[in-house]
C-alpha cells in the first residue's frame, strides 16, 4: 500500500509530492518503514517517477554545492 501511495504522490507537484511521501513514511510502522527504505536504498534501484529522479538530482546538486563551498572555505584557511 505504501508503494502505491508513493507512486500516486509522484504525479503531483514537487511540494505536494514531498508532503505526501513524508506522510506515507511517517505513517508506517517501524518495520515497514525500514523495509521500504531498505528497498529504495539498494544501489541498483532505478527511480521510476520523474518526481523521484528530480528530487534525487536536486539533493545531489545541493551536496556538490555544499562540498565545493566547504572546500573553498578550507582553502582560504
pLDDT in tens, 30-63: 998 888 888 777 665 677 778 778 878 888 888 8
Contact 45, 39 (CB under 8 A): yes
- Report if pTM > 0.75: no
Residue 31: the pLDDT is 92
Biggest CA-to-CA distance, the chain: 52
How many other CB atoms sit within 10 Å of the CB of residue 51? 22
Q: What is the CA radius of gyration of the chain?
A: 16
How do residues 59-71 score in pLDDT, each as one tens digit? Answer: 888 889 988 888 8
pLDDT of residue 25: 84
State the pLDDT at residue 30.
92
Can you give the pLDDT at residue 43? 61
Amino acid at each position: 500500500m505504501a508503494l502505491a501511495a508513493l507512486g500516486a504522490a509522484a504525479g503531483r507537484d514537487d511540494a505536494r509530492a514531498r508532503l505526501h511521501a513524508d506522510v506515507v513514511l511517517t505513517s508506517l510502522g517501524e518495520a515497514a518503514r525500514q523495509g521500504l527504505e531498505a528497498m529504495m536504498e539498494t544501489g541498483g534501484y532505478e527511480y521510476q517517477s520523474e518526481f523521484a529522479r528530480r528530487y534525487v538530482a536536486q539533493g545531489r546538486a545541493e551536496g556538490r554545492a555544499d562540498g565545493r563551498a566547504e572546500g573553498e572555505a578550507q582553502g582560504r584557511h
